[in-house]
Chains A and B, each alone.
Chain A
Amino acid sequence: MGMGSDMYRQQILDHYKSPRNYGELEDPDFSHTGENPSCGDTIQMDVRLEDDGETIEYVSFTGDGCAISQASASMLSERLVGMSLDELEALETDDIVDMLGVTISPMRIPCAVLGNQVAKDGAKIHTGDLDPEEYGETITEE
């Protein structure tokens, strides 16, 4: 069988059906939303930092969309805890695909990276490296 069945290994389905850290944070240090128009996926990531203002203490997310996008955000919400914002910034598409542990077909990459992109953009807005006026919402596309 081809990529599809690989793409829906148990781990992905598990995170999709029982998302971890699902919900909104009451007092996040930053919160950001994004969309992948090709799938209609939406993700909001809420992040709380430790006192050093650098280290990620807790992440939650909400969203709607395909299994790949939602499972990826769920896994990421666990993965990011303890990372610094610089480490988050350094996360690339390959890292996300590795985290998912499956082969993602090219058309589905925007789904897979949506949560990560939202978290990164949110962090950049938080540190003043992105202008929220110009960059209100993250969009991932093919």
Chain B
Amino acid sequence: MSTQESYPIDVEAIREDFPVLDRKVGGDVTTPGEGDDDTEPLVYLDNAATSQTPKQVVDAIVDYYYGYNANVHRGIHQLSQEASVAYEEAHDRVAAFINAAGREEIVFTKNTTESMNLVAYAWGLEELEPGDTVVTTQMEHHASLVTWQQICKRTGAELRFIEVDEDGRLDMDHAAELIDDSTRMVSLVHVSNTLGTINPVAEITDMAHEVGAYSFIDGAQAVPTRPVDVQAIDADFYAFSGHKMLGPTGIGVLYGKQEILESMQPYLYGGDMIRKVTYEESTWEDLPWKFEAGTPLIAQGIALHAAIDYLEEIGMDNVQAHEELLAEYAYDKLSEHDDVEIYGPPGDDRGGLVAFNIDGVHAHDLSSILNDYAVAIRAGDHCTQPLHDTLGAAASARASFYIYNTREEVDALVEAVDGARDLFA
């Protein structure tokens, strides 16, 4: 059987759209892209950090800058109108993609981190007080963990952590214990960027709503890799980043239920977010513009639209199926050796990433050696330092997959890991 036929998506055709996948690496890193000594074909398995960018997305950026570059919401002239329409339509596209009610609920930010901070400042700093609790989990990315930690310090609210069990899943009994009448916010990651755990976000949102709390879902690893329906989850807030889903850097999304966003004060002040200004007073624009102060990420927003088009053309169910296939394949292959510890749930129940350690080889050494084999993975704490403390590992190596990855690339990973093992034996 040809391997190509056994993928849920046309990987070969997809790879054609990503010029960087033709790159060779191994040369001098101080001269990116020009090293004559780059000889090894790149195996890019660091997609949870950032995904690669297809021609269609770069084309959208080029079309904008060469064809209708103008500021939005300000000019009467044609270019400004074209840019404004395209920028606004990007909000509609995102809304449809995650099944939000409409563009009012879609705020463009810089990234997941900024989306998180927007809610923490505009809602948390205003609303939280001593006696309140914010419930989060042990597997949060620093984007959420550090933000709530600091907002709680400033407001006197208490931060609680739902524990992770041995399989890397949330302890739901513990969640039920922690989420109580004092809880104002339950903030959790949808798919863990370290464990690969897919959390029951709808169930936990229900628990939050039962006590009158909001839920904030960090979807940085979920939206790129599976169908997400914010209404089915009933999330109050939901955040993700464009650069992990084929989009450019510099664009992120905050989804918020309209009535909640309406009740919140702006986070940043300035142009574009106001309706009427006098020397004494100002009133705010409608949603979502109230939360988009200053000249926004116009090209990036338009490019995110193109990225979503690209993903939907493949179909998010298919993207998910491909992720699961590679995750399980990698899990099984890596597990063949006893000296490999993989963190998180079993291979058939996880997102498309595998974080692991081999006995006797530090993750950073492993990553350096893998780089020799032209295999790009992430090594470190993946912005989950407290979770790594809980796991008893200072660092781990993480391979993460996307639509253009193949089983052969997983084989290359495993071969490189074998090489590292031999070197250190």
- A residues contacting B by CB (< 8 A) are 1-5, 7-8, 13, 16-17, 38-41, 64-68, 105-106, 108, 111
Contact = CB atoms under 8 A, between A and B. Distances in A.
Contact of A5 (B27, B29, B372): B372
Interface in B374-422: 380-381, 388, 394-395
A38 B380 contact: yes
B368 A4 contact: yes
Nearest to B389: A40
Contacts of A41: 394
Q: Which has the most chain B C-beta neighbours within 10 Å: A2, A5, A65, A111? A: A2
A68 B372 contact: no
B424 A13 contact: yes
B13 interface: no
B275 interface: no
B44 to A, nearest CB: 15
Contact of A3 (B362, B363, B372, B423): B372
Contacts of A111: 364
B372 A66 contact: no
Nearest to A38: B380
B371 interface: yes
A67 B424 CA distance: 9
Contacts of A8: 365, 368-369, 423
Interface string B260-296: 0000000000000000000000000000000000000
B368 A108 contact: yes
Given A1-B26, A2-B25, A106-B29, A39 B368 contact: no
Contact of A2 (B27, B365, B423, B424): B27
A65 B394 contact: yes
B369 A39 contact: no
A2 B380 contact: no
A5 B380 contact: no
Interface of B: 25-27, 29-30, 37, 40, 361-365, 368-372, 380-381, 388, 394-395, 423-424
Contacts of B395: 39-40
B394 A39 contact: yes
A66 B365 contact: yes
Contacts of A38: 364, 380
Given A3-B368, A5-B372, 9 more contacts: A3-B29, A16-B424, A38-B380, A39-B362, A65-B362, A67-B361, A68-B365, A106-B29, A111-B364
12 contacts: A2-B26, A3-B29, A8-B365, A39-B363, A39-B394, A40-B395, A65-B394, A68-B364, A68-B365, A105-B29, A106-B30, A108-B364
Contacts of A66: 362-365
Contact of B371 (A2, A40, A68): A2
Contacts of B368: 3-4, 7-8, 105, 108
A38 to B, nearest CB: 6
A108 B380 CA distance: 12
A4 B372 contact: yes
Nearest to B385: A37
A39 B364 contact: yes
Given A4-B370, A105-B29, A40 B394 contact: yes
B395 to A, nearest CB: 5
A67 B368 CA distance: 11
Contacts of A3: 29, 368, 371-372
Contacts of B364: 38-39, 66, 68, 108, 111
Nearest to A111: B364
A36 to B, nearest CB: 9
A3 B424 CA distance: 16
B372 A67 contact: no
A63 to B, nearest CB: 12
A108 B367 CA distance: 11
B369 A4 contact: yes
Contacts of A65: 362, 394
